[in-house]
């Protein structure tokens, strides 16, 4: 057996254990008994110790040193690249610190959920202080004298830097603010969808839509969670959603969003199963799939024409009089508080707020005790409304409770990627709208599967997007052009 074969046999077991760790997270968010939290924290810590030991096992370093990468094919080279990167990064983090992060973030997640329900930031602040302190230690260990935030960002978008993203976001911000101001001041303001919608019927409809977008229920399932998410890869990819009797769009579009994530994982070449290539290459690329499913396809005029008719079948007469009014209701721009429920125009402004605040938390410029006030002040400045309760403010997202610092900017990067991909998709599948109008996204999702999703981690993030776009490098221009054209239509500007 060659050194490469030995490495990959060892790696396959490590990947399998990683999937088990992910399943523990899914269980915790969906069906775990409330009283099981303390034990789950210890279980998570124990498993993290095992994973850390495997990822830093001296044999991995020996195998990597012995392998002649130049003699390998592209797939094997990519596997070695990923394993080398992870080995280098994991080796810099002491095992005790890695285990402590796993234990504390497992407990923190439950404390956050309770604090959010009670609108009590002070109840969450002490454990968040501990999470931030641990993540600072991790960042310093990873950075080796470089920028600590960049070291954390590299976990989610390899190769990206905060400075590069800041430049991109600075280009987005003024045009998004201008577009928001124009639509808010427009004479034509779409009416919202009103009424009461049976929540069991919502779940049934979301499963139908998930299947239409290509989600394979034989290798997945849909459950409810406080914060919708996708979990797993390969043959077991699960998603969650949430329902509200007065807001069926929350259920429908959070489901379509998570289906985008899940389909990416399900469509990766099965030959890559339980290897480093068997999962999405980055969270920015991952988010491009969820956002293109949710917005460019799911909120398009074509698809909402079908959805309008289908919702009338399921729920009876709707408050919107026709498909055009329904399209407007789906795409209303309103000064809301919740990022996951935000319209496309303002969504990235929510992300930019979090990007700036979490950089300040990691650098020490912002103390956790001052986070609520800093959030509320910035939100009022950016959105023109006051945050009246923490669940609408700094307690609304789960990310910081579980230590996902560096994750938030990938949401906006994913939107940028999605804009580029949709431009390329429309050029190569010009009949996409006619299919969407029939509730049949299969042609579009097949294009994404063939051109991007199947590759998994074979290419670097920007490279896989560039290849799918026919060699055109990602930029914010297609996203801005799409948004300005779409909302000029919706608001009759």
Which residues are annotated as catalytic?
A: 258
Interatomic CA distance for residues 299 and 334, integer angstroms: 16
What is the token pair recorded at 397?
Answer: 């997202």
> Which neighbouring-strand residues pair with 232?
237
Interatomic CA distance for residues 28 and 24, integer angstroms: 6
Tell me phi and psi for residue 352, to 5 degrees: -65, -35
Angle at 43 between CA 41 and CA 48, to 5 degrees: 95
CB 219 within 8 Å of CB 259: no
Tell me phi and psi for residue 452, to 5 degrees: -135, -55
CB 224 within 8 Å of CB 244: no
Local structure of 324: helix, strand or coil: helix
Helix 409-428 and helix 442-451, axial crossing angle in degrees, nearest 10: 110
Interatomic CA distance for residues 387 and 380, integer angstroms: 7
CB 288 within 8 Å of CB 421: yes
Tell me phi and psi for residue 348, to 5 degrees: -65, -25
CB 452 within 8 Å of CB 284: no
Cβ neighbours of 442 (radius 10 Å): 13
Interatomic CA distance for residues 82 and 18, integer angstroms: 15
Q: Is the dihedral of CA 448, 450, 454, 458 positive or negative?
A: negative
HEC string of 347-416 equals: HHHHHHHHHHHHHHHHHCCCCHHHHHHHHHHHHHHHHCCCCCCHHHCCCCCCHHHHCCCCCCHHHHHHHH
- What is the distance of C-alpha 282 from the center of its chain? 10
Interatomic CA distance for residues 411 and 294, integer angstroms: 13
């Amino acid at each position: 057996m060659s050194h490469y074969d030995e490495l990959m046999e060892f790696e396959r077991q490590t990947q399998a254990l990683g999937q088990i760790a992910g399943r523990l997270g899914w269980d915790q968010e969906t069906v775990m008994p409330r009283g099981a939290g303390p034990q789950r924290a210890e279980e998570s810590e124990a498993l993290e110790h095992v994973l850390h030991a495997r990822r830093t096992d001296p044999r991995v370093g020996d195998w990597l040193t012995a392998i002649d990468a130049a003699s390998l094919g592209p797939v094997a080279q990519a596997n070695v690249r990923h394993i080398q990167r992870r080995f280098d990064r994991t080796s810099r983090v002491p095992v005790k610190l890695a285990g402590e992060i796993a234990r504390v973030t497992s407990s923190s997640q439950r404390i956050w959920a309770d604090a959010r329900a009670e609108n009590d930031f002070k109840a969450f602040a002490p454990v968040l202080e501990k999470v931030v302190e641990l993540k600072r230690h991790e960042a310093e260990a990873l950075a080796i004298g470089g920028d600590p935030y960049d070291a954390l960002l590299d976990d989610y978008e390899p190769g990206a830097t905060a400075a590069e993203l800041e430049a991109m976001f600075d280009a987005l911000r003024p045009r998004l603010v201008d577009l928001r101001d124009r639509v808010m001041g427009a004479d034509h303001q779409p009416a919202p969808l009103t009424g009461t919608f049976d929540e069991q019927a919502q779940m049934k409809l979301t499963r139908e839509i998930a299947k239409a977008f290509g989600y394979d229920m034989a290798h997945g399932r849909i459950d409810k969670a406080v914060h919708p998410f996708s979990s797993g890869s390969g043959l077991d990819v699960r998603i969650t959603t949430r329902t509200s009797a007065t807001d069926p769009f929350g259920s429908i579009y959070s489901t379509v969003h998570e289906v985008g994530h899940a389909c990416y994982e399900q469509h990766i070449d099965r030959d890559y199963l339980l290897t480093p290539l068997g999962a999405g290459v980055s969270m920015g690329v991952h988010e491009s799939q969820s956002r293109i499913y949710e917005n460019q396809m799911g909120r398009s005029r074509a698809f909402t024409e079908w959805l309008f008719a289908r919702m009338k079948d399921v729920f009876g007469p709707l408050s919107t009089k026709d498909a055009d009014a329904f399209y407007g209701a789906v795409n209303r721009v309103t000064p809301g508080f919740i990022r996951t429920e935000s319209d496309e125009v303002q969504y990235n402004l929510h992300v930019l707020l979090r990007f700036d605040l979490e950089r300040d938390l990691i650098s020490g410029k912002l103390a956790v005790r001052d986070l609520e006030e800093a959030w509320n002040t910035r939100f009022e400045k950016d959105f023109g409304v006051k945050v009246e309760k923490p669940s609408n403010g700094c307690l609304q997202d789960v990310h910081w409770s579980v230590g996902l610092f560096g994750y938030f900017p990938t949401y906006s990067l994913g939107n940028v990627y999605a804009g580029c991909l949709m431009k390329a998709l429309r050029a190569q599948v010009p009949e996409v709208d006619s299919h969407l109008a029939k509730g049949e996204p299969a042609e579009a999702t097949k294009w994404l599967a063939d051109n991007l999703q199947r590759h998994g981690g074979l290419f670097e993030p920007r490279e896989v997007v560039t290849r799918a776009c026919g060699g055109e490098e990602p930029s914010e221009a297609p996203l801005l052009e799409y948004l300005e054209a779409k909302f000029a239509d919706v608001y009759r500007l």
